[in-house]
């Protein structure tokens, strides 16, 4: 049952990912990407990380994709007549395939050790995923968390300055 679900969702995600690179119209690409993100959210749930699935949908599918589509609409980019690919398609296919081979070999060749942490499925069940994330975030990773907030602030200011017509 779980395997069936995995293969189905994996198939959908790969196809939709492929169409991200394939579609002539950026809007279609964006919609395909949203599909991929949703598939990934499903995987997160299957991996017992419901909080991550939630923010995957909210941040990626919700915020970032909306922003991208917003820009596409704003710039009024339709499908273009001329080729959407550069001249190096063949090379890019070979390279991508090679990088996949390298990664696969790495995965196949490596041995992943048994569980070393104490966060088992039962623990997640009993405490709740959000609580675990929250505890880690506000204790152990408090400083990176704060730095991330500064990063976001800087990004906002940068975006405003870049997109203003006259500074």
Partner 1 sequence: MISVYHYMILSAILFAIGSFGVLTRKNMIVIFMCIELMLNSVNLTFIALSRHLGNMDGQIFVFFVMTVAAAEAAVGLALIIAFYRNKESIEVDDFRLLKW
Partner 2 sequence: MYSNLWLIPFFPLVGSIINGLFGKKIKNEKVIGGIATIAIFLSFLVSCQNFFRLLGDTEKVHQQILGSWMSIGILNVEWGFLLDPLSALMIMVVTGVGSLIHLYSIGYMHGETGFYRFFSYLNLFCFSMLMLVLGNNALVMFIGWEGVGLCSYLLIGYYFEKKSAGDAAKKAFVVNRIGDFGFLCGLFTLFWALGSKGVWTLNFVEISENAHLLQSGGLLVTVVTLCFFLGATGKSAQIPLYTWLPDAMEGPTPVSALIHAATMVTAGIYMIARMNILFAMSPTTMMVIAFVGAATALFAASIGFAQNDIKRVLAYSTVSQLGFMFMAMGVGAFTAGIFHLMTHAFFKACLFLGSGSVIHGMHHAYHHAHLHDDPQDMRNMGGLRKFMPITWITYLLSCLAIAGMPFFAGFFSKDEILWWTFASTRGSYLVWIIGTIAACMTAFYMFRSLYMTFHGEQRTDVRAKDHIPESPWVITLPLIILAGLATIAGFIGIPHAIDVAHVGNGIASFLDPVFGQAQQLHNIGIPEDLAHNVGLEIGLMCMSVVIGLIGIGGAYYMYMKKQELPAKFTGAFPGLHKAVFNKWYIDELYDFLFVNPCKKIGTFLWKGFDVCVVDGVVNGIGWVVKGLASGLRYTQSGFLHNYAMIMVVGVVVIVGYYIFG
Q: Scanning residues 120 to 149, which ones bind partner 1 (CB under 8 A)?
A: 120, 132-133, 136-137, 140-141, 144, 148
Q: Residue 1 carries which DSSP code?
A: -
Report, in Å, the least distance between residue 103 CB and partner 2: 8
Q: How far apart are CA 122 and CA 99, in angstroms?
A: 37
Q: Residue 113 carries which DSSP code?
A: P
Q: Does 62 bind partner 1 (CB under 8 A)?
A: no
Q: Return the structure tokens found at 133.
A: 């994330």
Q: Which is nearer to partner 1, 80 or 125 (CB)?
A: 80
CA torsion sign for 134, 140, 142, 143 is negative
Q: Does 1 bind partner 1 (CB under 8 A)?
A: no
Report, in Å, the least distance between residue 155 CB and partner 2: 22
Binding site partner of 158, from partner 1, partner 2, none, Cβ cut-off 5-8 A by kind: partner 1
Q: Return the structure tokens found at 106.
A: 């790495």
Q: How far apart are CA 136 and CA 65, in angstroms?
A: 28
Q: Residue 166 carries which DSSP code?
A: -
Report, in Å, the least distance between residue 73 CB and partner 2: 24
The interface with partner 1 within residues 80-99 (CB under 8 A) comprises 80, 83-86, 88-89, 91-93, 95-97, 99
Report, in Å, the least distance between residue 93 CB and partner 2: 12
Residues engaged in binding partner 2 (CB under 8 A): 86, 88, 91-92, 95, 98-99, 102, 105-106, 109
- Is 26 exposed, middle or buried, given 0-12, 13-18 or 19+ CB atoms closer than 10 A? buried
């Amino acid at each position: 049952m779980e395997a069936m679900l995995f293969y189905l969702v994996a198939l959908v995600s790969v196809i939709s990912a492929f169409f991200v690179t394939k579609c002539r119209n950026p809007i279609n690409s964006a919609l395909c990407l949203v599909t991929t993100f949703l598939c990934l959210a499903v995987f997160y749930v299957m991996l017992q990380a419901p909080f991550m699935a939630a923010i995957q949908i909210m941040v990626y599918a919700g915020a970032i994709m909306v922003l991208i589509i917003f820009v596409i609409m704003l710039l009024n980019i339709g499908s273009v007549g001329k080729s959407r690919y550069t001249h190096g398609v063949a090379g890019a296919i070979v390279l991508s395939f090679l990088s996949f081979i390298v990664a696969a070999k790495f995965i196949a060749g490596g041995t992943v050790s048994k569980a070393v942490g104490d966060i088992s499925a039962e623990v997640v069940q009993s405490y709740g995923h959000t609580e675990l994330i929250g505890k880690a975030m506000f204790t152990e990773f408090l400083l990176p968390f704060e730095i991330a907030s500064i990063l976001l602030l800087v990004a906002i200011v940068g975006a405003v300055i870049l997109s203003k017509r006259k500074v």
